[in-house]
Amino acid sequence: MSPVKHKINLEFTSNHSISELLGDRDELIKFIERKYNVEIFILGDDLEISGKTKNVKEATGLIKELAFQVNLGQQINKEKVSDSIKIMENKSELKPHQVFSDSIIVNSGKKIKPRTGGQKKYIDSIRRNTIVFSIGPAGTGKTYLALATAVEALKEDRIGRIILVKPVVEAGEKLGFLPGDIYDKVNPYLRPLYDALYEMLDIEKFQQYRDMGIIEVVPLAYMRGRTLNDSFILLDEAQNTSPEQMKMFLTRLGFGSKMVITGDITQVDLPSDRQSGLILVKNILDKIEGVEFVNLTSKDIVRHELVQRIVDAYKEFDDRIKK
């Protein structure tokens, strides 16, 4: 069967041109050719695509979407093209340009943007609700995006403090015998939170905020008895909380505060005879106004593509075991 040909008439605003769509040395168009196994010919400001009907149709849809992004002033690069392909293949309710239109502003005007439809919905949910539960596999941006939203709220004076909490399940009774103060003791378990904050605030600013008490990074056990007003409170790795610990944490909420609870219910480190508070809480709070549950999936993983395949493979294995 001979290949079909389809011509795309592209129109760009006066501030933009087809060169933004093509990329340096046409690298973006070549990337699209390899992805869909088509040939793309540049005809002035128009393109002609040749290949199998299905491939030409998919490549045409992508190129029209990318041209729309260019006219909106959104930067186009290989990562953005890959994310656009992923969003379109996953048949997200949102189009790629709608996902990329959002941004979280952190240190020195740096912008952090959602990269999937699920991430965009997650950010919207945090902004809209007082308590948000984000459940999903590693690599979906659960903690990172929540931290970015917290830093943005702090910069805009919508909150006065950021409280970052994590259950230190691995340390157990050995925690008290480790040298140093509380930060030194739990540092290995809170390192992912530190790394993200260093990126968003830089090390000096983070240390200044920590010394002033504006940012606290503490284990869950140290939350008992506190009431936190005007704060953004993030509980990370919440799958490792007991139902009692989850209740204790949620009741720390004070006036003007917001809570985000993140976790992966497939990676519970609790003893087999103990139930995860993150698994139980949805049955208790699901219908309470102001509380929202956001489920991210392997489609929202933004790490190496092998991570998504690994997560899917483990899920298939678990499903077979259950059956």
Q: Is a pLDDT exceeding 80 seen at residue 171? A: no
- Percentage of residues in the chain having pLDDT higher than 90: 64
Instruction: Give the pLDDT confidence score for residue 208 in this predicted structure.
Output: 93
If pLDDT is split at 50, 70 and 90, which confidence band does 183 have?
low
Q: Is a pLDDT exceeding 80 seen at residue 261? A: yes
Phi, psi torsion values for 246, nearest 5 degrees: -60, -45
Q: Is a pLDDT exceeding 80 seen at residue 186? A: no
pLDDT in tens, 233-249: 999 999 999 999 999 99
Query: In the predicted model, what is the mean pLDDT of residues 152-174?
Result: 81
Query: In the predicted model, what is the mean pLDDT of residues 92-104?
Result: 92
Instruction: Give the pLDDT confidence score for residue 173 in this predicted structure.
Output: 40
Instruction: Give the pLDDT confidence score for residue 251 in this predicted structure.
Output: 95
Query: In the predicted model, what is the mean pLDDT of residues 12-23?
Result: 91
Q: Please report the domains of the chain, with CATH numbers, ordered by start residue.
A: 4-99 (3.30.1370.10), 105-322 (3.40.50.300)
If pLDDT is split at 50, 70 and 90, which confidence band does 311 have?
confident
pLDDT in tens, 196-207: 888 898 888 888
Query: What burial class does residue 120 get, using C-beta atoms within 10 Å of its C-beta: 0-12 exposed, 13-18 middle, 19+ buried?
Result: buried
- Residue 3 per-residue DSSP state: P
**Residue with more model confidence, 98 or 194:** 98
Instruction: Give the pLDDT confidence score for residue 172 in this predicted structure.
Output: 44
Query: In the predicted model, what is the mean pLDDT of residues 267-272?
Result: 84
Q: Is a pLDDT exceeding 70 seen at residue 1? A: no
pLDDT in tens, 28-77: 999 999 999 999 999 888 899 999 999 999 999 999 999 999 999 999 99
Type of residue at 185 = K
Query: In the predicted model, what is the mean pLDDT of residues 104-116?
Result: 88
Of the listed ranges 16-20, 145-149, 310-314, the one predicted with least confidence: 310-314
Q: Which residues partner with 6 through β-bridges?
A: 49
Instruction: Give the pLDDT confidence score for residue 84 in this predicted structure.
Output: 95
d(CA 203, CA 240): 28
Q: In sequence order, what E strands does the chain have?
A: 4-9, 39-43, 46-51, 104-105, 111-112, 131-135, 161-166, 215-219, 231-235, 258-263, 291-295
Query: What burial class does residue 305 get, using C-beta atoms within 10 Å of its C-beta: 0-12 exposed, 13-18 middle, 19+ buried?
Result: exposed
Q: Is a pLDDT exceeding 90 seen at residue 305? A: no
Query: In the predicted model, what is the mean pLDDT of residues 226-237?
Result: 95
Euclidean distance between the first and the last CA atom of the chain, given in angstroms as a whole number: 44
Instruction: Give the pLDDT confidence score for residue 169 in this predicted structure.
Output: 64
> Is residue 67 a contact partner of residue 12, using CB atoms and an 8 Å limit?
yes
**Mean of the per-residue pLDDT values for the chain?**
89
Q: Is a pLDDT exceeding 60 seen at residue 81? A: yes
Q: Is a pLDDT exceeding 50 seen at residue 289? A: yes
Q: Which residues partner with 9 through β-bridges?
A: 46
If pLDDT is split at 50, 70 and 90, which confidence band does 114 have?
very high
Instruction: Give the pLDDT confidence score for residue 269 in this predicted structure.
Output: 84
- Percentage of residues in the chain having pLDDT higher than 70: 93
